[in-house]
Structure 1
Amino acid sequence: MISKKLSLVFIFLLSLTIKAQNKIELKSFLVEIEKQHDVKFTYSDDDLTGNVITTPQKNLSLSEVIDYLNSTTLFNFKVLNDRFITVSFLDKKITICGKVIDSQTLEPLTLASIIINNGNIGANTDDNGDFFFKKTPINTTATISYIGYNSITLPVKELFETPCKEISLNELSEELSEIIIPNFLTSGLQKNIDGSTTLNSKKFGILPGLIEPDILKTIKVLPGIESVNESIANINVRGGTNDQNLMLWDGIKMYHTGHFFGLISAYNPYLTKKATVIKNGTSSQFSDGVSSTVNMLTDNEITRRFSGGGGFNLLSGDAFIHIPISNKLEIHASARRSFTDILNTPTYNNYFDRSFQENSIASNKEHKTTTNFYFYDYSFKVLYDINNKHSLRANLINIKNNLDYTEEYTSENTTFEENSLLKQENLGANITWKANWNNRFSSELSTFLSEYTINSSDFNIDSNQLQTQFNNVLETEIKLLTKYQFSDILNFTNGAVFNEIGIANKTTVNAPSYTKSVKDVLLKSAIFSELEYKKKNTYARLGLRANYFHDFNQFLIEPRINVRQKVINNLYLKLKGELKNQTTTQKIDFQDNFLGIEKRRWVLADNDKTPIIKSKQISFGTEFSKNNLQIDLTGFYKFVDGITAANQGFYNNVQTLNSIGSYESKGVEFLINKKSKKISTWLSYTFAENDYTFNTFSPSIFPSSLNITHSLSAALNYSITPKIRLSAGTILRNGTPYTTPVVGNETIQYGDRTVVNYDTPNKERLRNFFRVNASGSYQFNISNNIKSTVRVGFTNITNRKNSINTYYVIDNNSETNVRKVNTYSLPFTPNLSFRINF
């Protein structure tokens, strides 16, 4: 037995010896060849130092040795005569190869660009991230680049390896923050060092029920972010209304967020490269949005490569394209349109019923009706690099919803046709000039225009009344931003901005005749500064913004703070605080006002009946991250003053009066996320208390209409393979508060009208909201240059009937003269998408 073990050891040592003998220093090998063939190699010792060669398996002739050395080494061996052979890099051409991968996920990067500098050679990586070049000049370099990643340049001789060298590319860092968790909950969702969350659309993995990387749907998985009526046009961040969210698209302030009355995002998720959500501790360069900032950015780098993509789901189709005109000029374009006016799918039918339940469209069965609904959006971007230090960018985006509703009826043998319509449109454009004056100082000068318009007309056959409403917002802004980098860890940002907003509202009624038209304009300007400090264990951003409202002759000073500090291994403390303001707000027209559709009109602060909304917020929390486990616990307090009853969405006896108040929201957010190579699972919980204060009401303090005390969600993502992924999740939360009529005295006379006599505001609460969603995705390649993805999503798998709103209307046929109206969330709804990218 012992002798057998010794034999195995001897054989092992012998194999190592043989293996070692196959490798020899190049200089030593050349010495042996000189002795064997009586020749002389001339070379520089420095060039050959450190170079190792694998010895041939058999004896070779001199010509075979030269061929072997030329094919397996970096040197050019040239026979001068029978005696002398030169060894040099001169005119040497070699075969190189490599594999380009993501430094974080280690996944291959398909269609990465490889350029051989000074060699007029270029190519893209294949589906596996591999590239291969023959006859490449050795005395040059190769630049490897990929959209959204930092490019690297390597000497060609470093790619002369067997097996092929793996080249890791790092994702481009955010302009305002650094990524600390590159795959948060799912791939493409990133946690930044300043506490914000970024969705990278191109890397989006999968989330329960979603078939697209829709930022406004995605952020609802984060604690503290809800949608009380499941609409992405009504995102509620820490108890705030949707109009308290600042929406930016490439620096343009947007006033419209949803298609299909809030069930679909108005922003093409495949054009929006990255979108960042900030709940608190906002940079001082941003104003408005007292609840949150959603900053959406498109591709901003010239790729010098023709690329694009397109796809469809069960509601719409879209396409985008990047067209390089020259090395300095490129055009990006996209378009999306619904086919809901041509084809009705099960998804469309459910969305339609959800949007128009319990209203004149859904309930009108006495007359012949037709409904024509569609939406579209498109964008156009020009990228021009003047030189290495200066660049220009120009953007255009247009979003539109269109609804035409026709009722046809017959009276005294005469047929009448009456039409109602609702059109919403947001047009935005901007131009940005960015300059890098030196290695430390840069500037950015930008200007934008944003125009939002809503046109509506509602004809009520029963009352023979025609009501029209017009709302127009026109905002222009010019902004200068400068940045000075004192060192690698300290930045100083300054800026100034001048802004003008004009809002017009007009309402007309034919019977009785009534017209009201209001137009307001507000000029405001601001200067801001902030210091940003980033070191290994510490992040701090301290900012100050000074706002001046010209029409009101009023100053507002707003400090901002954002600090993250490591205390012990893997444990961080974070502190955020801010003061913010906003001058625009929405007035809600209720379900029983226009076709049963809840729509909102923008109004402008006048410092009287509609004051400037002011907020103050502070949050403190802890964050733990180790071995793919992230735990986040944050407590927050927010106070918002200057809100009006008209924009809060609750029903009571004084809702139409000019009531100004405030709300106070406080709570705790908790999130735990555990990831492995194939699984990501998380649990999110939010406890919050949210109360109004309106002195004109009785009682003056009562629960907010957006008050969700307990909200719990859990989900599991599973990657069966890198190309097949599944996701399932559930949501459980309190129902929202609502107001009931006074029992026994349900109606009162209000002038010449009978109205509902409401009891104590928001005294009752809807039953708990519960939903289970699931989705799946499959990636495959149609060809070497065309990648495809199929996604399926299922909303409300259990088909639970979740009530999302309750209100009361006058009904003379009822015993109490009022009727309770309930609206419900989506039933079980499937959806599917198919996409290609090239």
Structure 2
Amino acid sequence: MKINLFEVIPWPKNSYGKTIFLMKLSFFLYLVFCFQLLAFNGFSQNNVTLEEENSSLKSIIHKIEEQTSYNFILNNDIIDVDQNFSINVIEKDVTETVALLFKNSTISYKIKKNHIILSRIKKKNGDFTISGVITDASSGETLIGTSIIVKNSNKGVFTNEYGFYSITLPKGDYLFEISHLGYTTKEVAIQLQHNMNIKIELQPSSNELDEIIILSNQNNKSQVASILGGTSNLTTSEIKKSPALLGEPDITRTVLAQPGISSVGEGTSGFNVRGGNVDQNLILLDEAPLYNTSHLFGLFSIFNADAIKVIQLYKGEIPARFGGRASSVLEVRQKNGDSKRIKGEGGLGLLFSKFTIEGPIKKDKVSFLASGRRSYFDVFFPFFKGNEAVDKFHFYDLNTKLTWNINKNNTLYASGFFAADIIKFNQEEEDGEGGFDSDLDLGWTNTTATLRWNHIFSNKLFANITGIYSKYDYSFGTRQDLGEEDIEDTFNRSIKNWIFKPDFTYYSNPVTKMRFGLSGNLYQFIPKQKIPEGNVLLDKEKAVQLAAYYSIEKQWNKLSLHTGLRYSWFANFGAESIAIYKPDLPQTPSTIIGFREVKNNEISKSYFGLEPRLALKYDFNDRKAFKIGYDRMFQYIHLISAQTIVLPNDIWKPSGEYISPLEVNQFSAGYAYDSKDQNYNFSIEGYYKTFDNIVEYKNGARSGVVDNLETELVPAKGFSYGLELAVHKNKGRLTGNANYTYAVSKRKTKSNFSSEQINNNAYFPSNFDRPHILNITANYKLSKKWEMGAFFTYQTGRPTTLPNGRLSINGDSFLTFSDRNAFRVPDTHRADISFTYTPTGNPKTNWKGSWSFGLYNVYGRKNVFSVNSTLDDNKLETGQISLIPAPIPFISYNFKF
């Protein structure tokens, strides 16, 4: 039925009436509108009170609809109403309540009138991030370099040096495979609906036989996975299985067994990497730099393997976060300490012992580590004829660490290290006037302290902020008691180092990772000398090195890129007196015409450098890869050594007015291949390096404490190139590796003055030029109780300078010498063997013991360490010195509990 509005509503007949009627109708409609507006405003001020803890979304929506005039509109196929939310509000506006409810969730909302429309946030691929740490299930120790692979895909990441991982993926269901060498591989199924923080624990392999034969799916010897070329991952287990001098596991000797690494001889301190000097290696212990890494002049390493978690060597492409050295980085990290239970280990050897204890102070929150070693050579020396003068002759070292897991986002680490060598000789002799008493004291110490804070800002941003103190001391002194007179002469040199480093890693997505940070480094070089006439005032040198860096790692389908840039700035500070020399003449004491005085804390000289880093990898498949790389490194402090070997009294010198920073450029390319079953890994890598501003001593230069040291030095340049081949066998009873290196290292002086030229500015071999090096390491599991280890090395003899004649002046004879490094000592080679017996432990106790014994230098090869030449009755006498000319047996007992 149709209704005529004009028949229902009385409608005036005249115009005036119609006007009045329309005015009344308009006023009525205006009132209706106002009431509607007031009603809306009153509705919009609806308050909500909720106290919900892990309640379903369905329940919370129902309660909001009951307390307000709003209703929710959603699609149950898109929005999961059974998911849980928590919210606690009292008399809060409904719009604020809804905003709070869906904060940090995957649900978005819109309010239209009294409707709340829910939808899912539209995100691109890679929306959700899984992050956390991976630890040892038995000890709580974080695991470095653990592989996290998304099964049935080419996506995966590795934990960083603090055990942290982060991977971003689209929503979905995933199966992750987590593997680490020496641990049982674990698969974790995750339903990825939102950002997640997951701590994953891996169980150690049930026994050593399983670890060796079965092995986890991760292979830390593979060069295919890493974008960077020229890297080596070393574990303490393989270090302990290698035969070593007196049976003590030695990290430095294990490093020397890697391709591209050499030294000037047995029993020497340090190592040389791809043609670089010993001082060109940045050696870090819990991020603190070390300046001398040997005990007893190089016979033993200062690193106690029982206190070490992992060692990483970079000699090819070096990440931008590292700087200050030009050829390599050896990163050594201590254990954090067991956070589950107290445990210890130690060893008793013929000439030294060690003990390590670790455990929780508060379980899973605070843990500690303490580890020490002490030799007792000095106990036995008096029993051997001819060694009565030895008063003290020993070394010791101590590692400590405290770890505090504050919460899932914050961890504090405090670690310390102290090592000392103490040598003292005392001699008493009688003569016609009553005799004399003389002492010789020699010693050096390393001290480091590190305070580190790990903070997770978000599931994608990780920070490591570190403060470091490092100190190296060397002292040498003699004293003669002549009865009525006491003559004393001592020299001491210290290097102090304070460092602050904030470092950040941002995990943008599964194929992009960025790392950036700053570094501030303060140096102090402090020499002291005391002579019979009194104390000698020597200039204390100060320097500052600042750096900023950025790097990015990016992966495409088959191509991977790691590139970065480091900016470094270095300044030398006064107070000091800088010699001024006559122009166009050699720098000698006789050409000094004056001095420039630099005030205290005034910059005397500064330098800066841009250090690009680039690495590219092309994967042919998951088992074959080709790599190329380029690095530029600047080094601002130098080790000035007059000898072929490095000694504790060698001088560290900062760059300054007359010593420029060392610049090294390296180009490298390589190919890596893994066998299908991961049992074998092959790699071949070639490199070419250039060196500029190398520091060399002039011919006939004075060494030691010399005023205006630059008068004894000459700048040089050089190059090195080489080819490295390596193969690793990972599974079965027989495991090990073999590598061969062909290498050339040469240098030449750059002076225009003949008195400062070495070999007339022609290229000559460096002291550590060894063209051919072969290393073979093998371990064989004889049974569950017996294991055998063997090592063989062959190296071309190092260059040396020998006399080539005799010169007589006024009846006195003097030796004349060949060109620098024109000859070589005989080639060196050595074989070592060891056996380890591990009896079945008592199941009622945690005690586990093992015996190790073997021979170092099995066939007694007399490797020539140096050649000495003297004039005796005007006759040239030449002799050869071998440090370890005979087989050295060893036996030790090691235990764990």
TM-score normalised by structure 1 residue count: 0.71
1:402-446 alpha-carbon deviations (Å, 9 max, x no partner): 000112111215132100010101111011111111111121111
Matches within 5 A, 1:250-269: 250-269=286-305
Cα 1:145/1:533, change in 2 over 3 Å = closer
1:386 aligns to 2:406 (yes or no): yes
Matches within 5 A, 1:531-570: 531-534=552-555, 537-551=558-572, 552-568=605-621, 570=623
Corresponding residue number in structure 2 for 1:830? 889
Cα 1:781/1:488, change in 2 over 3 Å = farther
* Range with greater deviation from structure 2 (666-675 or 285-294): 666-675
Q: Distance in 2 between matches of 1:583 and 1:369?
A: 42
C-alpha contact 1:112 1:145 (8 A) present in aligned 2: no
Corresponding residue number in structure 1 for 2:507? 485
Cα 1:544/1:831, change in 2 over 3 Å = same
Q: Cα offset for 1:147?
A: 12
1:767-811 alpha-carbon deviations (Å, 9 max, x no partner): 1112121112222343331222322232111111110222435x4
1:337 aligns to 2:357 (yes or no): no
Q: Distance in 1 between matches of 2:539 and 2:389?
A: 34
1:616 aligns to 2:671 (yes or no): no
C-alpha contact 2:837 2:851 (8 A) present in aligned 1: yes
C-alpha contact 1:805 1:824 (8 A) present in aligned 2: no
C-alpha contact 1:804 1:825 (8 A) present in aligned 2: no
1:137-159 alpha-carbon deviations (Å, 9 max, x no partner): xxxxxxx999996997999xxxx
Q: Cα offset for 1:399?
A: 0.6
1:697 aligns to 2:758 (yes or no): yes
1:578 aligns to 2:631 (yes or no): yes
- The aligned amino acid for 1:566 is D
C-alpha contact 1:691 1:707 (8 A) present in aligned 2: yes
C-alpha contact 1:672 1:684 (8 A) present in aligned 2: yes
Cα 1:794/1:821, change in 2 over 3 Å = closer
Corresponding residue number in structure 2 for 1:680? 735
C-alpha contact 2:227 2:627 (8 A) present in aligned 1: no
Gaps of 5+ in 2: 1-135, 142-177, 190-200, 206-215, 573-604, 704-711, 751-756
Q: Distance in 2 between matches of 1:255 and 1:806?
A: 27
1:81-131 alpha-carbon deviations (Å, 9 max, x no partner): xxxxxxxxxxxxxxxxxxxxxxxxxxxx996799xxxxxxxxxxxxxxxxx
Q: Distance in 1 between matches of 2:737 and 2:514?
A: 37
Q: Distance in 1 between matches of 2:786 and 2:446?
A: 37
Q: Cα offset for 1:717?
A: 2.5
Q: Distance in 2 between matches of 1:585 and 1:388?
A: 42
Cα 1:762/1:441, change in 2 over 3 Å = same
Task: Pick the aligned partner of 1:194 from 202, 207, 228.
Answer: 228
C-alpha contact 1:756 1:818 (8 A) present in aligned 2: no
Q: Cα offset for 1:509?
A: 5.3
* Range with greater deviation from structure 2 (291-300 or 146-155): 146-155
- The aligned amino acid for 1:792 is F
Cα 1:533/1:150, change in 2 over 3 Å = farther
Corresponding residue number in structure 2 for 1:637? 688
Q: Cα offset for 1:465?
A: 8.5
* Range with greater deviation from structure 2 (495-504 or 303-312): 303-312
C-alpha contact 1:113 1:146 (8 A) present in aligned 2: no
- The aligned amino acid for 1:478 is F
For these two proteins, the number of residue pairs brought into alignment is 648
Q: Distance in 2 between matches of 1:544 and 1:682?
A: 34
C-alpha contact 2:338 2:367 (8 A) present in aligned 1: yes
1:325-372 alpha-carbon deviations (Å, 9 max, x no partner): 1132122111111111223599xx9xxxxxxxxxxxx9xx7x973342
Cα 1:456/1:655, change in 2 over 3 Å = closer
Corresponding residue number in structure 2 for 1:714? 776
Q: Distance in 1 between matches of 2:316 and 2:181?
A: 30
Cα 1:721/1:755, change in 2 over 3 Å = same
Q: Distance in 2 between matches of 1:802 and 1:437?
A: 56
Q: Distance in 1 between matches of 2:424 and 2:465?
A: 42
Task: Pick the aligned partner of 1:414 from 434, 439, 442.
Answer: 434
1:289 aligns to 2:325 (yes or no): yes
1:318 aligns to 2:354 (yes or no): yes
Cα 1:729/1:396, change in 2 over 3 Å = closer
Q: Distance in 2 between matches of 1:150 and 1:678?
A: 18
Corresponding residue number in structure 2 for 1:18? none
Q: Distance in 2 between matches of 1:382 and 1:536?
A: 42
Q: Cα offset for 1:575?
A: 1.6
Q: Distance in 2 between matches of 1:295 and 1:191?
A: 19
Corresponding residue number in structure 2 for 1:660? 715
* Range with greater deviation from structure 2 (396-405 or 575-584): 575-584
- The aligned amino acid for 2:298 is G
C-alpha contact 1:332 1:382 (8 A) present in aligned 2: yes
Q: Distance in 2 between matches of 1:539 and 1:780?
A: 48
Q: Distance in 1 between matches of 2:670 and 2:457?
A: 39
Q: Cα offset for 1:170?
A: 8.2
C-alpha contact 1:183 1:190 (8 A) present in aligned 2: no
Cα 1:734/1:429, change in 2 over 3 Å = same
1:763 aligns to 2:833 (yes or no): no
1:453 aligns to 2:473 (yes or no): yes
Q: Distance in 1 between matches of 2:720 and 2:481?
A: 44
Corresponding residue number in structure 1 for 2:597? none
Cα 1:311/1:767, change in 2 over 3 Å = same
Of all paired residues, the percent bearing the same amino acid is 22
Q: Distance in 2 between matches of 1:580 and 1:146?
A: 32
Corresponding residue number in structure 1 for 2:797? 735
Q: Cα offset for 1:457?
A: 1.4
* Range with greater deviation from structure 2 (631-640 or 819-828): 819-828
Cα 1:145/1:622, change in 2 over 3 Å = closer
Please give the secondary structure, in 2, of the residue aligned with 1:830.
Answer: strand
Matches within 5 A, 1:15-30: none
Corresponding residue number in structure 1 for 2:588? none
Cα 1:559/1:110, change in 2 over 3 Å = closer
- The aligned amino acid for 2:425 is Y
* Range with greater deviation from structure 2 (629-638 or 779-788): 779-788
Corresponding residue number in structure 1 for 2:867? 806
Q: Distance in 1 between matches of 2:812 and 2:290?
A: 38
Matches within 5 A, 1:140-159: none
Cα 1:314/1:748, change in 2 over 3 Å = farther
Please give the secondary structure, in 2, of the residue aligned with 1:600.
Answer: coil
Matches within 5 A, 1:200-599: 200-202=235-237, 204=239, 206-209=241-244, 211-231=247-267, 233-300=269-336, 303-327=339-363, 328-343=365-380, 369-412=389-432, 414-458=434-478, 467-507=489-529, 510=532, 515=536, 517-534=538-555, 537-551=558-572, 552-568=605-621, 570-588=623-641, 590=643, 598-599=647-648
Question: Once superposed, what is the RMSD of the aligned Cα atoms?
Answer: 3.7
C-alpha contact 1:613 1:642 (8 A) present in aligned 2: yes
Q: Distance in 2 between matches of 1:531 and 1:170?
A: 33
Gaps of 5+ in 1: 1-108, 115-143, 156-166, 172-178, 350-361
Q: Cα offset for 1:629?
A: 2.2
Please give the secondary structure, in 1, of the residue aligned with 2:399.
Answer: strand
Please give the secondary structure, in 2, of the residue aligned with 1:217.
Answer: helix
Corresponding residue number in structure 2 for 1:87? none
Q: Distance in 2 between matches of 1:655 and 1:499?
A: 31
Please give the secondary structure, in 1, of the residue aligned with 2:540.
Answer: strand
1:804-826 alpha-carbon deviations (Å, 9 max, x no partner): 222435x4x33247765634445
C-alpha contact 1:584 1:602 (8 A) present in aligned 2: no
Q: Distance in 2 between matches of 1:315 and 1:685?
A: 34
Q: Which has the larger radius of gyration?
A: 2
Q: Distance in 2 between matches of 1:147 and 1:226?
A: 27
- The aligned amino acid for 2:498 is T
